[in-house]
Structure 1
Amino acid sequence: MPVTDITTDAEALTMTVTADAAAPVDRLWRAFTEPRQLERFWGPPGWPADFTAFDFAVGGYAQYAMTSPKGERSRGSWEFLSIDDGRSFEVIDRFVDADGAPMDGFPQMRMTFAFASTDAGSRLTNTTYFSTADALEEVVAMGAIDGSRMALAQLDAVLQDLRDYAQGEGTRTELLDDTHVRITRLIEGSRELVWRAHHDSELLKRWLRGPEGWVMTVAEPALAEGDAYRYAWEQEGAPETAFGFEGEALLVEAPRRAVTTEKMTGMDGPSTINDLQLYEEDGATLITILIEYPDKETRDMILATGMTDGMETSYARLEETVLAPA
């Protein structure tokens, strides 16, 4: 969903986000008012939202937490002030602590979400009203503009049926910025089975073998936060070709998310952070991996190795072997 404009107005004390979607207005409305859909894009990449409460009624509350790859959490709540079904709703947005209480020293904002039909589909206008200029400056300094743009860029995957969005597309790699890459692949299989295929040693050796003629010799996955993992491969009959990767689990939320560090075994230097997320719809699972590189040069060097093609070979094997109907 392309963001067409983000404007701050220091006199009116507002920030307004405008975005257009190639979907009917009622579909856009549902994306913002059904929590399982909203949490797929409300947080920017790397900070997915988890809505633990969503009482969509005047006077009701929504509670959510956004969790970083390293386990840091930013919590918020909405108090619904007004609802014009299918057209708009208004909330008070607050930063809250782990108990849901408003946090001292953080601004609270009034937000309106307005939805309208366009010739090409629909439009969202999201306006945030601040009580002071300092509050507006504080939220902007926290990254609200880039965060809003990156969060809403994820909405296209929500507005389409999952198979319409990703089936037949293979493994896709998107450059988000100089150090972040997003990889997606639709897998025909349940989220539980895809999760198990990523965390069971014997299953890993069946599909994560690399190119034809290679075997996975070591498959020691990390099953809990703090666990170390180790993977290794070699060409059949050629142990001198052996190489591997290792790291540790920073976050494990089975069967939906696992965040790990990764570096080549025996190599010095910084690790990447790999954020694996799984979303299931109608028996198909979308794999999303957000990779954080230490710098642009490392990102470009690794992508140039043919990483995307190699991942596609493995994912196709996952469907053909581990997840194929008996």
Structure 2
Amino acid sequence: MTVMSTQQNAEELSFTIVAEFDAKIERVWQIWADPRQLERWWGPPTWPATFESFDFTPGGKASYYMVGPDGEKARGWWLLTSIDAPTTLSFDDGFADDNGEPVASMGITRAVVTIEDIGGRTRMTTTSKFESAEQMQKMIDMGMEEGMTEAMSQIDDLLR
């Protein structure tokens, strides 16, 4: 199984998911750096993602949408805050309206991804930090934990 653990931390306003893969660190890095690969796993299987723009540089922006089984579109955006290939990536993540503009009422989640070699395998730890306890609870209630677990469970097939 790809996902090894998930943890919600109310005190730190964070959600962490740890996954391990039978692949080299550089290969796992590519699932973040290449938008076509990212589309194959960012979002649960029933909500596939399409990246409309993707500037994978510090300060760069990405915009995407996911389409649900009933055709509903959910839009999102990233602002890449730091990149240290192939081990660390940080970005601000938020919801967007139909025009791709940030939805302020949903807040911003700050994500940090660390990728490390664990003896020929690779561990990827993704930590999302929230602005408030209310925002964190809202994201958890919307299915963030299940959605990220399902999304990351698609990575093994992609890495093959």
Which TM-score applies when normalising by structure 1? 0.48
1:136: Cα distance to partner? 0.7
Matches within 5 A, 1:60-139: 60-139=60-139
Q: Distance in 2 between matches of 1:109 and 1:32?
A: 17
Amino acid at match of 1:10: A
SS of equivalent to 2:92: strand
1:118: Cα distance to partner? 0.9
Query: Cα RMSD over matched residues?
Result: 1.0
SS of equivalent to 1:41: coil
Write the deviation string for residues 161-186 of structure 1: whole angstroms up to 9, x where unpaired. xxxxxxxxxxxxxxxxxxxxxxxxxx
Q: Distance in 1 between matches of 2:104 and 2:85?
A: 33
Matches within 5 A, 1:230-249: none
Q: Distance in 1 between matches of 2:104 and 2:87?
A: 33
Q: Does 1:8 align with 2:8?
A: yes
Amino acid at match of 2:70: K
SS of equivalent to 1:151: helix
Q: Distance in 2 between matches of 1:120 and 1:27?
A: 12
Write the deviation string for residues 109-146 of structure 1: whole angstroms up to 9, x where unpaired. 11011100012510100000111111110100000011
Q: Distance in 2 between matches of 1:143 and 1:131?
A: 18
Q: Does 1:39 align with 2:39?
A: yes
Q: Distance in 1 between matches of 2:139 and 2:14?
A: 11
For the 8 Å contact 1:48–1:68, the answer to whether it is kept is yes
For the 8 Å contact 1:50–1:65, the answer to whether it is kept is yes
Q: Does 1:146 align with 2:146?
A: yes
For the 8 Å contact 1:65–1:73, the answer to whether it is kept is yes
Amino acid at match of 1:15: F
Q: Does 1:53 align with 2:53?
A: yes
For the 8 Å contact 1:21–1:120, the answer to whether it is kept is no
Amino acid at match of 1:150: E
Which TM-score applies when normalising by structure 2? 0.97
Q: Distance in 1 between matches of 2:20 and 2:104?
A: 35
Matches within 5 A, 1:1-326: 2-160=2-160
Q: Which residue of 2 aligns with 1:275?
A: none
SS of equivalent to 1:47: coil
Amino acid at match of 2:106: F
**Structure with greater Cα Rg:** 1
For the 8 Å contact 1:110–1:128, the answer to whether it is kept is yes
Q: Distance in 2 between matches of 1:69 and 1:133?
A: 30
Amino acid at match of 2:83: I
Aligned length: 160
For the 8 Å contact 1:20–1:123, the answer to whether it is kept is yes
SS of equivalent to 2:91: strand
Q: Which has the higher contact order (CA 8 A, sep 6+)?
A: 2
Q: Distance in 2 between matches of 1:154 and 1:94?
A: 22
Q: Distance in 2 between matches of 1:101 and 1:28?
A: 30
Amino acid at match of 2:7: T
Amino acid at match of 1:148: M
1:104: Cα distance to partner? 3.5
SS of equivalent to 1:79: strand
1:70: Cα distance to partner? 1.3
Name structure 2 gaps, 5 residues minimum: none
